[in-house]
Homo-oligomer: A and B are copies of this chain.
Amino acid sequence: MASSLLSRQLAFCLQNNLRLSAPASRYVSKVAPKAQMDFEYDGPSMKTQVPGPRSQALTKQLGEIQNVAAINFFCNYEESRGNYLVDVDGNRMLDVYTQISSIPIGYNHPSLLQVMANPSNLSAFVNRPALGILPPESFPDKLSESLMSVAPRGMSRVQTMACGSCSNENAYKAIFIWYRNKERGHGEPSELELESCMVNQTPGCPELSILSFMGGFHGRTMGCLATTHSKAIHKVDIPSFDWPSAPFPTLKYPLAEHERENAQEEARCLEETEDLIVKWRQKGKPVAGIIIEPIQAEGGDNHASPSFFKGLREIAAKHGAAFHVDEVQTGGGSTGKFWAHEHWGLDDPADIVSFSKKLLTGGFYMKNELQSEKAYRIFNTWMGDPSKNLYLCEVLNVIRRENLLDEVTRSGHALLTGLTELQNQYPLILSRARGQGTFCAITVCNEATRNKLIQMTRNKGALLGGCGDTSIRFRPSLVFKEHHVHMFLNIFSDVMARMK
């Protein structure tokens, strides 16, 4: 049954490794030797413009029953493997975007297919439990093997959730509960609080706030959305909370060449952050928590230095606010460390760390004191999905076994070097090449050119995503190796040559 697909894929894999031509890799001199038999294709293969006719027909069909304005094309996931996404028109693309950065070890990884082939795992898929009340026997062990085995330093507890937004929403709730518990000295809520909260009024529903940063993205449900400030289209027409948004540093790249100016900019932002905390306390809406991404992703791949984050951590502690690091996009290894905030080198970087995407399940880590003591305060029917933990265990095994964080560091160095070279070659079009691991980006002169570049690159066999107003973000999976980097750079430089 399940094994037949595996054998078919193995056969495919062998066939592909026997092929010698890499159709879209024209600058073959740069292609690094393939060290091992990859479980994937040997290069892109394009048959049509993308979206092709079959994708267009399916988009029309789906358009009858839902909004299709964001659809790029339709995929043949069965035929996709490793770094290659195959579409329904038979186009095979090198995937440098990986489902908005959510595929950790490529498509149809044999280790993940094995999870499905293990009969003792089937019941986890077929019987989705209400994890908060009736967890499966294996759940504590699986949590220890998966999420707790990669817990960020200082994080002793974890709560799974179904997606990134739910993770941040529930983390905010944990922060508010913790903050009010501190205020009332861990006593019980008063009768007045219990009554007033039932009709959404103070003091039961207090006027607390979460401080976030301009350009940040933390999800789209209404609590999260009040802390998201990346693009107006996400926010307009939706009621929100009067919560403070601080400036995120606008740094000059390469960071190492602009240390003094950048440090000044970061000091300015920290000062303004602290001013906002004071101001919001005076307004009667105290800041209970500060949320920040280690690299602002959706907002344009904006970086800041470890000392900025260290300063922020100190400000949070000084004002009694929880420090919440949102690793939904940065977590899982693509910066070269499992958690991007490990690059800051702090022993105690966070009170709460949220995740999703490459972790396959949403959720958040927290310190002991952030965990609500009572039942049903942080709760919902599913509280995640234990079948995703099974996959995550395997993903972590593969990362360890294949030293993928080292690979990411190597590939990331090659990618950033290549992007920097291209930027030097095309200074009127490309600028601000930046990144950590393979979590890289480059800024394009304007939005139209950025969009055109992404489209042309896709038609040449490499799939990219945009971020911010005019940037391109690179989000390959962790199995994107140096030869994939060079294959991509060949395609991209070919496209750039035609842009002139």
Chain A residues proximal to chain B, CB less than 8 Å:
1-5, 54, 58, 61-62, 65-67, 69-78, 80, 85, 88, 99-100, 102-103, 107-109, 112-113, 115-120, 122-130, 132-137, 139-140, 143-144, 148, 156-159, 162-166, 169-170, 172-173, 176-177, 179-181, 189, 193-195, 197-201, 204-209, 214, 219-223, 226, 229, 231-243, 245, 356-357, 360, 371-382, 387, 391
Known: A4-B119, A222-B169. A102 touches B75 (CB 8 A): no
Tell me which of B70, B148, B166 contacts A379 (CB under 8 A).
Answer: B70
A67 to B373 Cα, complex, angstroms? 7
Contact between A135 and B198, CB atoms less than 8 A apart: no
A-B CB proximity, top 8 nearest: A222-B223, A69-B375, A205-B240, A200-B240, A70-B375, A99-B130, A180-B237, A77-B123
Residues of B near A66 (CB, < 8 A) are 143, 157-159, 371
How far is it, in angstroms, between the C-alpha of A189 and the C-alpha of B143 when the chains are bound?
46
Candidate in A116, A177, A376 with the most chain B CB atoms within 10 angstroms: A116
**A172 nearest in chain B by CB position:** B222
Q: Closest approach, in angstroms, between the C-beta of A103 and any C-beta of chain B?
A: 7
Checking B77, B118, B144 against A124 with a beta-carbon cut-off of 8 angstroms, the contacting residue is: B77
**A44 CB → nearest B CB, Å:** 16
- A220 — which chain B residues lie within 8 A by C-beta? 169-170, 173, 379-380
Q: Say how far A3's CB is from chain B's closest CB, in angstroms.
A: 6
Q: Is the CB of B239 within 8 A of A176?
A: yes
Contact of A237 with B129 at beta-carbon distance under 8 Å, contacts A66-B159, A119-B1 already known = no
Given contacts A74-B139, A102-B128, contact A380 B240 (CB under 8 A): no
Our pick among B78, B140, B165, B177 for the contact of A58 (Cβ within 8 Å) is B140
Closest-by-CB residue of B relative to A127 is: B77
Known: A140-B62, A232-B204, A233-B374. A78 touches B120 (CB 8 A): yes
- With contact pairs A157-B66, A200-B241 given, residues A119 and B2 touching in the complex (Cβ less than 8 Å): yes
- Chain B residues in 8 Å Cβ range of A70: 132-133, 375-376, 379
Beyond A65-B140, A113-B122, whether A237 also contacts B163 by CB under 8 A is no
Distance (Å) between the CB of A326 and the closest chain B CB?
13
How far does the Cβ of A478 sit from chain B's closest Cβ, in whole Å?
15
CB < 8 Å neighbour of A208 from B126, B139, B239, B371 = B239
CB neighbours (8 Å) of A387 from chain B are 125
Candidates B88, B109, B222; contact of A126 at CB < 8 Å: B109
Contact in complex: B222, A5 (CB < 8 Å): no
CB neighbours of A129 from chain B (8 A): 75, 77, 99
B109 touching A235 by the CB < 8 A rule?
no
User: Cβ of A236: which chain B residues have Cβ within 8 Å of it?
Assistant: 180, 189, 193-194, 197, 204-205
Contacting residues, chain B, for A238 (C-beta < 8 A): 173, 176-177, 197, 205
- Chain B residues with CB under 8 A of A85: 134
Chain B residue numbers with a CB within 8 Å of A166 are 162-163, 165-166, 221
Contacts of A229 in B (CB 8 A): 198-199
Min CB distance A220 to B, Å, is 6
Q: Which of B115, B177, B200 contacts A237 (CB 8 A)?
A: B177
**Shortest CB distance A221–B (Å):** 4
A235 touches B127 (CB 8 A): no
Complex A-B: 25 CB contacts under 8 Å: A2-B2, A2-B119, A58-B135, A62-B139, A70-B375, A75-B129, A108-B123, A108-B126, A116-B125, A125-B125, A163-B166, A165-B169, A165-B380, A169-B222, A170-B220, A170-B221, A172-B222, A180-B236, A200-B226, A200-B235, A205-B235, A205-B237, A206-B237, A220-B379, A234-B376
Indicate whether A189 sits within 8 Å of B237 (C-beta atoms), given known contacts A139-B74, A140-B62, A163-B381.
yes
Chain B residue numbers with a CB within 8 Å of A241 are 200, 239
* Cα distance A156–B66 in the bound complex, in angstroms: 9
Q: How far is the CA of A153 from the CA of B139 in the complex (A)?
A: 41
Contact call B206/A239, Cβ cutoff below 8 A: yes
Contact between A140 and B208, CB atoms less than 8 A apart: no
Residues of chain B within 8 A (CB-CB) of A99 are 128-130, 133-134, 381
Let me know if B69 and A373 touch, CB within 8 A.
Answer: yes
- Which chain B positions have C-beta within 8 A of A76? 136-137
Q: Which residues of B contact A375 (CB under 8 A)?
A: 67, 69-70
Tell me which of B126, B172, B360 contacts A128 (CB under 8 A): B360
Query: Most B CB atoms within 10 A — which of A88, A123, A173, A209?
Result: A123
Q: How far is the CB of A364 from chain B (nearest CB, A)?
A: 11
B197 touches A235 (CB 8 A): yes
A272 to chain B, nearest CB (A): 13
**A381 with B164, Cβ < 8 A, contacts A80-B127, A239-B176, A375-B69 known:** yes
